[in-house]
Amino acid sequence: MHPMQTIAVRAARAAGQTIIRAFAELDKVEVTAKGMNDYVTNVDIEAEAAITYQIRKSYPDHTIICEEGGENKGENKDYIWIIDPLDGTNNFVRGIPHFAVSIALQYKGKTEVAVVYDPIRDELFSAVRGKGAKFNDFRMRVSKHNDLKDTILATGFPFKAKQHTETYMKIFSSLFTQCADMRRAGSAALDLAYVAAGRVDGFFEIGLKPWDIAAGDLIVREAGGTVTDLAGNHGYMTSGNIIAGAPKTTSAIVKTARPLLSEALKR
């Protein structure tokens, strides 16, 4: 195993233990609103600390960017860890058992290592650039459905960017009439991991953050999938607007979405 992947897996599992312990006693979890429909818990903070501790123990000079803690600059700017300690916080605080730890490592701007860990199911999705993607210890590939009518698509509603609701609903409606079914589960990291594992055929969402998608992006691509923004370009890490899937599925979603985009979402 890639030495930095070993650390990423160890950090993800440490965070997972923190999350599982807290999930058994949800009445003791402290919840604070960061903004509209945006929450942070003491568990997010503790899980983030567990991840940072594991990374710093082995790589004290690396830079770490966390959802809750912001940027923790190290002397070495070439290596950047991008972390979401609990993707799916809203699910977690309501007792819905669907959330994940997401950890990605970039070297000079390219993602080299990625881990998405579901502590409830003890499912580990991982990838190393150029070495493929794995589910636990098994190689995984995106689905082979070539026609949109056979696909199940995953999505996330733009609940933090409701100014895009009208455009989103046009895209959703158009895709829903073409595909077999839709899923909205509440964790972008797991949606991307499920695309890589072939559990769903494609995924689209508006207004995500880098820590939501950095790990899942590499995992999908190493599983043979493609990832673009809504216009079919490669600005998704900046815009947070993303489409992912098997290559033909991604192309079909882009073909549907592109003519429906507002000016704000074309950029």
User: Which tens digit of pLDDT belongs to each residue from 128-175?
Assistant: 999 999 999 899 999 999 899 999 999 999 988 889 999 999 999 999
Mean pLDDT within 174-182: 97
Check the annotation: does 67 bind a ligand: yes
Q: Is the pLDDT of residue 69 over 80?
A: no
pTM of the full structure:
0.96
- The whole-number pLDDT of residue 105 equals 98
- The whole-number pLDDT of residue 93 equals 93
- The whole-number pLDDT of residue 178 equals 97
Q: Is the pLDDT of residue 120 over 80?
A: yes
- The whole-number pLDDT of residue 68 equals 80
Check the annotation: does 212 bind a ligand: yes
Check the annotation: does 87 bind a ligand: yes
Structure confidence by residue, pLDDT tens digits, 215-228: 999 999 999 999 99
- The whole-number pLDDT of residue 36 equals 66
Q: Is the pLDDT of residue 6 over 90?
A: yes
- The whole-number pLDDT of residue 133 equals 98
Q: Looking at 62-166, which runs of residues are DSSP E strands?
A: 62-66, 70-72, 76-87, 100-107, 110-118, 123-128, 133-135, 138-139, 152-156
| Tokens linked to 221 | 């691509």
Check the annotation: does 26 bind a ligand: no
| Tokens linked to 114 | 């990625």
Q: Is the pLDDT of residue 213 over 90?
A: yes
Mean pLDDT within 45-51: 95
The CATH class, in words, for 152-260 is alpha beta
Q: Which residues pair with 204 in a beta bridge?
A: 155, 243
Stretch(es) of the chain classified as CATH 3.30.540.10: 3-139
Stretch(es) of the chain classified as CATH 3.40.190.80: 152-260
The CATH class, in words, for 3-139 is alpha beta
